[in-house]
Every structure is written in structure tokens, then in C-alpha cells.
Amino acid sequence: MSDSDAIQNDFITKVNELIEENISNTQFGVSELAQEIGMSRSNLLRKVKSLTKLSVSQYIRQIRLKHSMQMLHEGSLTVSEVSYRVGFSSTSYFIKCFHDFYGFSPGEAEKRNFEESNHDQAPNMKISKKIFLLAGAFIILVLVFFIFIMPYLSAKKQIIKSIAVLPFRNDSNDSSNLYIINGLMESILTNLQKIEDLNVISRTSVEKYRNTNKSISDIAKELNAYYIVEGSGQKVGNKVLLNIQLIDAKYDKHLWAQQYNKGTEDIFTLQLDVAKNIAEEIKVILTPEEVKKINKIPTDNPVAYDFYLKGLEPLHQGTETGLIEAIPYFEKATVEDPEFSDAYANLAIAYYYLDIFQIEKKNSELINNYADKALLFDSHNSRSLIAKAFYYMNIAEYDQALPYFEKALDYSPNSAFIINFLSDFYTTYRPNTGKYLEYALKGIQLDIASSDSATASFTYLHVSNALIQSGFVDEALRYINKSLEYNPQNIYSEYVKAYILFAKNKDLNQTIQLLLNTLEKDPTRLDVLQEVAKIYYYLRDFDNSYIYYKRFLDTKNALNMDIYPSENSNIAVVFSELGFKEESSKYLNEFKIFADNNESIYKNYILSNYYSYIGDTEKALEYLRLFSNEEDYFYWVFTFAKIDPLYDNLKDSEEFKMIIQSIETKFWNKHKEVKAALKAKKLI
């Protein structure tokens, strides 16, 4: 045995010992094992997967089930007693896992021969001709089942487990009580989202039905939800009155209803009870990990929680006014409960969004302090990890932010928010086509059927954008059309489609017309304004380019926003062409500062732009050669370099043409590798 094999065996032995020591502890899961063995959660997941081909939770479950088999053969304990002794908090979940693993129920275990019941062994037997024929018939039936019946059942299962929690109605005439009703609705929705077998429609998607007159069946159809939860209530003194009902939307049938009259100190019991009752009614089995997550309360201080709920409503508005209004409530929550992790995390997040587009970052210290406190009191809270990541984003330490986003994804692997943020991270902050495509495809691997139309549209948008930046034109066009099918008003998708069609047709006049059509729908959109100006720039229609860049700059400066610094080079060219030399020089200097401080793989390319424009062709070619050694750059680099006015001083240079050709050749070679990998995974 090699030293490497010995180390691996020692590792697995240690893992087994730790699991067996905690075999009856229902709370012992991935995080606890990682802490006991002294590894990060992500490293533990990778190592166990590489050695056992199982996830950590699957491996822990397998050890528990093997112990349960031994106990059942001893015959002195009931199935329920065994389930709890091997760490299952739910007997029904234990029975399901046992049957999945061994192929028969725990009740049959005592009757079975122990060796034959061993999951790792296969009996050696002779197969008679009759059995062989029966087996053949069985295989045919199985094929029929999987080809003709299973797709129907899978689709049905997917629909049945899709649920929407509609905005709760405030039964009080006092509108100031609305926050607690909304808070209850959101907490119940959040608890349901912790159940893996449930597809829960997002809060933002159900919000539009707050004052609707539409029928339940119409709402369910629009949201692709099989179940609907409705509620109404009010706060009277220290009492919370809540009426809630679960509806089978397909048949408009009321499955469950309950009236609650609880003191505010029992609000968490109420929330947990609702989530568990709904799960039980629609026959969703909760895993021990899910029970643990649902039972976890954010604070044991009802006054702190009341302030927290008051802060959520303005926070979710996503406006500067809303953020400013939310902050004092979260501050009061932390005064009442100085260990309230979620409140600290939301403070950090609110201050991050107040700073996000500001040239001068004013809140960095506050963001960091609140994020650290959130992590101190709950380091396993994905919201705390996001808060810390946002601190590093705020101070432009993007590489430091990345591990926190990745760890947050470990704790919330189905979070569309985190996956989409990572997609954006790899296209905006640390451009990397491979990673961008990876996270965009992860987004689409989430159950798209359970997503609301807005979320699905943005998920397909990310995939399409990642594909076009990797050179997959036809595939990108297919996904951007899907994005627009889900949400025809998605302006981001409209202008990405304009660029995809340019990649296909190489017609800038078509591109500008499509972008102008998009801008007509919302003339205030700064992103579309600068895209229109940019295409006029490439067309060398500097008069029209100036008009749109001027509108873009006026609004950007009025709002004191720090966005699209890379556009300053184009703006400098346009202003110079129209005779505004002083302003041109100002924007060119700002572009040089941006280039010098850039830490992405595009730094040398950006510097090449600058030196080409000022006429230093030797330096321009030097930086372009350096850039040609990079990997994972976007399709647009060589596509627009050939027509960019910044390169007018180099356009006749044979060396320039050779370098651009080498960049393009390397891109398409990489494209072939990516294409083969995606085809192997059946992703394209």
C-alpha cells in the first residue's frame, strides 16, 4: 500500500469513527463533521466525494443505515426506537431511506438473512431459463415504464411539489400592523424553501398578487404552482391572530386550514407549525437536516424580532429611501438582541446597496463591522457570508469576496440569488468565460419549471450571455429567445439579443436599430443609453454617439454614480472628434487611471487601447502581445478590436493583424474544447 493510500484509509477511518461516536445525534451533519475533523465544509465535501463517490450527507446516512440493520437483526428494538438510536428524527424518513438503500422495509429486516441483507454483497445463484424469460419480460416492462410512463410521473411530481405563498391580508384597519403580517408570510415562505422536495415560488413573484382579483386557478397557472397558501391576520396587543389555508389549485380544493391565536412570544412556534403542517398535508418527507434548519430560530427575543420584521418591508423595496428606512429597525433589533445574526447581516447588506454605485464609498467600515458580527453569531448563515462578501465587493477586493460567496452556496446550494451573483461576478468583476458559463449553467440546472417568469427569464439570460461570450451563437440565440418568452419586458435580454444577432449577421445597422427599439421602452436606462452610444461609435457616427453619451453622462453625474468606467475611452474619442479637446483629455485620463488599476485578465488589452490611441504604437503592440497569452477571454475582444477607432493607429500594422489573429485562433481552439465538454454533459 502506498503512503497516499494509507493516508486516505486513515482519513476514512477517522470519518467513520466520528460518525459512529455521534450515531444517535440527530443534529450531527456535514457542518458538525467538518468542525470535528478540522476541515472546511467545502474541502470535506470534495475529499469524501473523491474517496467514496458519495456526498458527505449520503455517506453519514449510509453509516447510520448499516448500524440500523445490525440493531434490527438483534430484534429487541422497534423500528421507531432504532430510527432514533441511529440519528433519524423522523421515523417515516428513516423507513424511506432504509427501503431506498436495502430494497425492503425495516419491518422485513429481521426475517432476512443478515449476509443477504448486506447492501455491498450480491448473491451468487444460477438463473433458470424460466427466470431468465421472466427477467426479460420484466426488463421490457421497465423500459416501457421509463420511456412512456416515467416522464408523465416526473412531470406530475414536479408540478405537485410546486407551491406559492400569496401575500397575507391585513385584517386590521391599522395599516401599521401590515409589517408583522408580511413578516409572517415571508418567514413561512422561507421555512418552506428549506425543504428540498418543495419548489417554492419566490417572494418577488407573488408580491404582484397582493391586491389582485384573479382566481386561485389563474394565479396558480401563471406561477406554475400546484398548491397555493393563503393567509390573513392581525396583531391585537401582544396577540397575533392568523388564519391560513392550503389549497389544491388544480381542483380548487381546500386541503387544510387553521386559525392561530398566539402571543408574540410564540410567533416562531406558529411559523414552524404552519410549515410542518403544509409539508405533512402534501406528503413531503422532511430530512433531519431540513427539520434542523426549520427549527432554528433567528432570535429568542420577540421585541428584537418585531423590529427585524419592521425592517424587512422597506429593505425589500430596493430603493435608497427604503434602505435608509430599514436601517434603524435592524439597529434596534440588535440593541434588543446583541447576538441577532440576521439583523447584523441585513444592516451590512443595506449599507452595501447604499454604496453600490457611489464613486466615494462611505460605508465600508460599517459594512465590515456588521458582517463580522453576523458571522460571529452564526458562521453557518448564508446571509452572514453574503454580507462579508459584500464588504469585500465594496472595497473592490473581489478575490477576497469570492470564497464567501462560494461558502454561502455550500450552505444554500439551490439559491438562485447566489448562483446568479456568481455568474455576474465572472462576467463583470473577474471576467472568465469558463466560470461564467459554469455558474450560468448551474442556474439553469435549478428546477426552472418552479421558477417564476422573472427569475426564469434572468436565468436564461445569464446562460445566453455566457454562451455568446464563449462563441456559441446559435445556442445563445435559442436561450435568449426562451428568456424573452418568459418575460417579454426583460430589457437586458432585448439588448443581449441585439448583440447575439450581430455575432450571427455582422450587421451593425441592424444592431443599432434593435437597441433604439429597446431604448424606446425605457429612455431612462443608462445601460441601454451607453450601448446605443457605443454602437454609433463603432459605426463612426460620432454625432449620434455624442448625443447618447451626453445623455448617459448627464444622468450618471447627476446621480454621482461610478459605472461603466471602461466607456471613458470611447467617450474621449467621440468628444475629440467633435472638437471638445479639453473634455476628451479629461475622460482619457480617467480611462488611464482605470486601466492602471484594473486587475482583470483584460488589463493589458485595455492599456493597449490607450497607447494605440495616443500614438505610442510600440507600447500598444507590447501590451497586446502580453494580452494574447491570456486564456478565457470573451468573444467580443477580437470581434470589436477589428473595427475599434481606438486602434486606427495600428489598423495597417501587419504585427497588429497577426496578434489579433492569434487571439482569435486561441479563442476558437478553446471554444472547441468547451463545446466537446458541454456536449459530453448533454448541456448543449
Per-residue model confidence (pLDDT) at position 112: 63
- The angle that helices 654-680 and 617-627 make with each other, rounded to 10 degrees, is 20
**Centroid of chain to Cα 178:** 29
Q: Count of CB atoms within 10 A of residue 307's CB?
A: 23
* Sign, Cα dihedral of 544, 547, 553, 556: negative
Q: Which of 352, 350, 356, 349 is nearest to 381 (CA)?
A: 349
**CATH for 3-117 (1.10.10.60, 1.10.1280.10, 1.20.1430.10, 3.30.420.40):** 1.10.10.60
Beta carbons within 10 angstroms of residue 208's beta carbon: 15
Collect contacts of 605-609 with beta carbons under 8 A, ≥24 apart.
605/633, 605/637, 606/566, 606/569, 609/569, 609/644, 609/646, 609/647
Amino acid in position 96:
K
- Residue 13: all three cell numbers together: 477511518
Give me the helices (H) in 125-281, please: 129-144, 150-160, 178-193, 203-206, 216-223, 267-281
The whole-angstrom separation of Cα 297 and Cα 268 is 7
pLDDT at 182: 80
Task: Please tell me the number of Cα atoms within 13 Å of 678 on its side-chain side.
Answer: 20
Residue type, 179: Y
| 259 beta partners | 243
How far separated are the first and last CA of the chain, in Å rounded? 42
**SS3 state of residue 621:** helix
Question: According to DSSP H, which parts of 446-580 are helical?
Answer: 453-469, 473-486, 491-505, 508-521, 526-538, 542-558, 568-577
**3-state DSSP helix/strand/coil % of the chain, to nearest 5:** 70, 5, 25
Q: How many whole angstroms separate alpha carbon 618 and alpha carbon 595?
A: 17
Rounded-to-integer distance, Cα 459 and Cα 423, Å: 10
Rounded distance, CA 42 to CA 405, Å?
A: 12
- Residue 594 is predicted with a pLDDT of 93
Q: What is the pLDDT of residue 186?
A: 76
Which pLDDT score is estimated for 418? 84
**What CATH number should be reported for the domain whose range is 161-279?**
3.40.50.10610
On whether the pTM is more than 0.85, the answer is: no
489: which DSSP letter? T
Q: Among residues 291, 263, 292, 296, which one has the least CA distance to residue 279?
A: 291
Q: At 334, which amino acid appears? A: T
Instruction: Give the closest residue to 556 by CA, choosing from 358, 349, 386.
Output: 358
DSSP summary character for residue 414? T
Give the pLDDT of residue 121.
40
Contact 231, 186 (CB under 8 A): no
Amino acid present at 591: F
Cell of 339: 447576538
* Neighbour-count burial of 451, counting CB atoms closer than 10 A to its CB (0-12 exposed, 13-18 middle, 19+ buried): buried
Query: Strand pairing of 199-200 and 162-165?
Result: parallel
Phi, psi of 523, deg, nearest 5: -65, -10
Residue 390 grid cell: 459584500
Helix axes 603-613, 581-597, angle to 10 degrees: 150
321 vs 329, 557, 623, CA distance in Å?
14, 20, 45
Distance, CA of 370 to CA of 349 (rounded, Å) = 9
Residues 6+ apart with CB under 8 A from 656: 621, 624, 647, 650
Q: Which residues contact 318 (CB under 8 A, 6 or more apart)?
A: 353
pLDDT of residue 621: 96
| CA gap 648, 643 in Å, rounded | 8
Please, are residues 647 and 612 in contact by the beta-carbon 8 Å criterion?
Answer: yes
* Cα-Cα-Cα-Cα dihedral sign, residues 341, 342, 348, 351: negative
User: How high is the mean pLDDT in each 10-residue block of the chain (684 residues)?
Assistant: 64 88 82 82 78 84 89 79 79 75 78 52 39 40 36 36 84 73 78 74 75 84 84 83 86 81 79 82 74 79 89 84 94 96 96 85 93 92 93 90 88 75 84 78 62 73 89 94 89 94 96 96 91 97 96 89 90 96 96 90 94 96 95 90 95 94 94 82 66
- Determine the distance from the C-alpha atom of residue 644 to the mean position of all C-alpha atoms in its chain, rounded to a whole number: 35
Beta carbons within 8 Å of 241's beta carbon, 6+ residues apart: 171, 233, 234, 235, 259, 260, 261
- Do strands 162-165 and 239-248 pair parallel, antiparallel, or not at all (unpaired)? unpaired
* Entry field: residues in the chain: 684
Q: Are 308 and 340 in contact (CB under 8 A)?
A: yes
- Residue 80 CB neighbour total at 10 angstroms: 14
CB proximity list for 433: less than 8 A, separation 6 or greater? 466, 469, 470, 632, 633, 634, 674
Distance from C-alpha of 44 to C-alpha of 285, rounded to nearest angstrom: 27
Which residues, listed in sequence order, are joined to residue 535 by a DSSP beta bridge?
none
By the 8 A CB rule, do 497 and 477 touch? yes
Q: In 14-172, which ranges are E strands?
A: 162-165, 169-170
Q: What is the pLDDT of residue 149?
A: 33
Do residues 479 and 465 touch, judged by C-beta distance below 8 A?
no
Provide DSSP, 354-409: HHTTBSS---HHHHHHHHHHHHHH-TT-HHHHHHHHHHHHHTT-HHHHHHHHHHHH
- Nearest CA to 508 out of 621, 405, 644 is that of 644
DSSP state of 146: I
Give the model's pLDDT for residue 414: 64
pLDDT for residue 336:
95
